Structure 1
């Protein structure tokens, strides 16, 4: 059922949508032109702030006459008297301000200051794409997409076994007919250039839309954290009520169709070591080049890495949200402890008062149970404290010519390291460099070791659990550098460890 769009609701959308506010601005042509060329044209989801700033300086140098429209949209005195570097900084800060939110500024896991377009700006990009590409209507591919979806729905909603068997037999018959035709003629039917370009154009649009949807999911998590922070600052809500409120919001988002759809995607792309998307993309690009098809399919080169990076930002926001809820729970526990301490003090005070008055306790004050062993539990006999990591050490002997890898992995249980983060580093490194085989040294040069030897050991454990194979050289070694005590670097020499994912 399609919801009715009231004038009030539409007015709220128009006021809240950053992209629409930008389209209304006098500076829209020059601002959108720069942002579109920076992100959309280059198939870039994020860029370092320094690169963004230099690009804007170059752009304004080439469009001096249009810059006046940007100045008119900014409430800044004497901006004409600033040098270009200062003006660029002022423009950027205005665009990612809470009032406009055209772009977002944040720090990545390497603590680099980054810039990326907001979900609303991505929707503006899609609108512009549809206008620019309006001369190429992909009717054929769109119709086939609709037909395929209808067939898929019909096949997967039909619970009748006999009907399902008939469908499968028809597919087998069609495949056998196709095989026979190929064997007879020696030729394979393929799409002509028109259909190839049409499908590629449709694929580009859908992949861009998908990236925009991920950006919106990330923004939804951020909105939940904002709501939790506002509730946390309120004196009218207890810690328990805040925790319940946080869990309800978190559960609502994860159980929504949007959240379930993302979880299904992330489950595939984060664990699919075969990297089917990249393999198919490379095959398609090779065919385009071989057949001299006039189409820029470069977006396929970074398709999987772009999807993975966008999805990973959503996962990181999820982790931040989980961490915030954990802190709320910890605060709740501390509040409970204070209440219990006050109750203990009151009981002790009452006991002291009774004893100081010389009161005698007789049998009438107690209940006696014969021949029954009471099951007693004193969970509060020890102070309630946050659990601290207790390090223990043990000696593990490495037998020569034995399974060295399994012996090294035994060290992993000695310490606590976030293996999820290590696993993400492995797959991110593979995607960034478009390789499936690399060494531990290459990986740790990109993602430096910061938790000492235990992190190195944990990496080896993760290799064994999540990679296709691990090779330990008998002839070569490599030096792994790691940081210890936050200020000293050390090196450990290991056999060269090569992983395949």
Structure 2
């Protein structure tokens, strides 16, 4: 946990923090207007360079139309390169695999400034009741789930059940309490704010992962020990990334989001929220139904960042091994060159001469003890086989599992659902080739970036043989997600 900030820490932020530099910049209004138009208002990330240039041209056109061409004389591409430079660090410039055009994203520091500036305009309606409710809910979860006394836990659960029974009794008696319009508006505003804050947090999550990985890559670049010690340190740091506080909370969010039951419950709650009469006049009411769909691409991008960082570490290790092998080859070539120079004029102080370039050394105790071989009784009676009684059907009963057919089965199910388990897919397209087909599905899931294998949960698959008997297999739960 970070301690309280003092004068020196605040002064260091003033001199070095990218967000503070953005507030002090002369063109800060232009930059913030552009960041809102290109990133935060449409709630998008990974924007291509040309698309950003078009948005910035529109912003510059509107400003110059009021203040003249001299207000911001440079073109859009120059401003974009300036804001993405290392001394600014307001935009992160990177390349997506398979594309030549650079992509850009807001840095967490710039996004914090955008959120702070947006808060300065004030709010017509301030959510207070929903925040208090959220505080109580989080506090109760924290205290109750941390309690180690079984009697206290049982007493709290009994109290909750009594409250639920009392509420059910009031509803049966006709005393149905419905949330008022101000209360509904209060909770809706709190919901949209939390959802937007959650999406903005993914930028900082990626930055924290990159910061952890940068430390590992610096260690590789400056390592002067043995290769085994380096690998041991790399694997330990890679484990630290996954077991860090940031990694554990992110993995917990991913597991929660990938739960089919929780996703169905969330989707049902979001659609029911759009039918609340007190919120019928809200302009952005139906946008909340896409909240979970906006989270999936953001989470997938964060996971792709972690995979990319692992690939970079592997590449750095390969480069280091290549340089070491190159140095070894240089030493070997130097020895061979010196040997050729001394071939015609050998030195006079020879200790010994050998015919070969190496000596085979075999110690006596390396030889195994004598073991007598076992006698094998061989029947020498020859029996002529009858070809008519030979069953050759096994030679022609082989079959091939068509992976393309399995992919089309997965795609047909995902056309209707955002995600589906392997049990859902086999229910729609029954297994026809038994265990071999299950193995092929498993291989497709392991090779896909849009599938996950959960070893903590199992699922049971069934198929029917030609003789009518039913076979079953219990495997790890496989979840396929529709690509964003």
TM-score for both structures, normalised by structure 2: 0.66
1:127 partnered with 2:111: no
Match of 1:25 in 2: 25
Q: 1:120 to 1:276 in 2, by over 3 A?
A: farther
Q: 1:178 to 1:44 in 2, by over 3 A?
A: same
Provide the rounded CA distance (Å) in 1 between the counterparts of 2:316 and 2:246. 26
Match of 1:36 in 2: 36
Q: Answer yes or no: is the 8 Å Cα contact 2:53–2:77 preserved in 1.
A: yes
| 1:254-303 CA-partner distances (Å, limit 9, x unpaired) | 33222211111112224547444343223212336x85243533542432
Provide the rounded CA distance (Å) in 2 between the counterparts of 1:259 and 1:104. 22
1:368 partnered with 2:368: no
Q: 1:30 to 1:325 in 2, by over 3 A?
A: closer
| 1:345-389 CA-partner distances (Å, limit 9, x unpaired) | 99xx9xx9866299xx9x9x9453797589xxxxxxxxxxxxxxx
Q: Answer yes or no: is the 8 Å Cα contact 2:35–2:114 preserved in 1.
A: no
Q: Answer yes or no: is the 8 Å Cα contact 1:217–1:314 preserved in 2.
A: yes
Q: 1:284 to 1:469 in 2, by over 3 A?
A: farther
Q: Answer yes or no: is the 8 Å Cα contact 1:102–1:117 preserved in 2.
A: yes
Q: Secondary structure at the match of 1:63?
A: helix
Q: Answer yes or no: is the 8 Å Cα contact 1:138–1:201 preserved in 2.
A: yes
Provide the rounded CA distance (Å) in 1 between the counterparts of 2:191 and 2:243. 28
Q: How does 1:287-302 map to 2 (within 5 A)?
A: 287=276, 292-294=280-282, 296-302=284-290
How far does residue 215 in structure 1 lie from its aligned partner after superposition?
0.8
Provide the rounded CA distance (Å) in 2 between the counterparts of 1:211 and 1:221. 16
| 1:380-405 CA-partner distances (Å, limit 9, x unpaired) | xxxxxxxxxxxxxx99845xxxxx9x
Match of 2:172 in 1: 183
Q: 1:156 to 1:396 in 2, by over 3 A?
A: farther
Match of 1:408 in 2: 402
How far does residue 121 in structure 1 lie from its aligned partner after superposition?
1.6
Q: How does 1:461-476 map to 2 (within 5 A)?
A: none
Provide the rounded CA distance (Å) in 1 between the counterparts of 2:192 and 2:481. 30
| 1:448-474 CA-partner distances (Å, limit 9, x unpaired) | xxxxxxx9996589799979999xxxx
Match of 1:283 in 2: 272
Q: How does 1:187-202 map to 2 (within 5 A)?
A: 188-202=176-190
Structure index of larger Rg: 2
Q: 1:299 to 1:26 in 2, by over 3 A?
A: farther
Provide the rounded CA distance (Å) in 1 between the counterparts of 2:10 and 2:226. 36
Q: Secondary structure at the match of 1:286?
A: coil
Q: 2:143 aligns with which of 126, 130, 154?
A: 154
Point out where structure 1 has 5 or more consecutive residues left out of the alignment.
Answer: 72-79, 375-393, 399-403, 413-418, 441-454, 471-498
Q: Answer yes or no: is the 8 Å Cα contact 2:47–2:105 preserved in 1.
A: yes
Q: Answer yes or no: is the 8 Å Cα contact 1:60–1:67 preserved in 2.
A: no
Q: Secondary structure at the match of 1:100?
A: coil
Q: Secondary structure at the match of 1:368?
A: helix
| 1:408-461 CA-partner distances (Å, limit 9, x unpaired) | 36999xxxxxx9xx9xx979x969x98568xx9xxxxxxxxxxxxxx9996589
Q: Answer yes or no: is the 8 Å Cα contact 1:105–1:114 preserved in 2.
A: yes
Q: How does 1:160-179 map to 2 (within 5 A)?
A: 160-179=149-168
Provide the rounded CA distance (Å) in 2 between the counterparts of 1:19 and 1:27. 13
Q: Secondary structure at the match of 1:302?
A: helix
Provide the rounded CA distance (Å) in 1 between the counterparts of 2:365 and 2:229. 41
TM-score for both structures, normalised by structure 1: 0.64
Q: Secondary structure at the match of 1:105?
A: strand
Q: Answer yes or no: is the 8 Å Cα contact 2:220–2:317 preserved in 1.
A: no
Q: Answer yes or no: is the 8 Å Cα contact 1:27–1:69 preserved in 2.
A: no
**Count of matched residue pairs:** 395
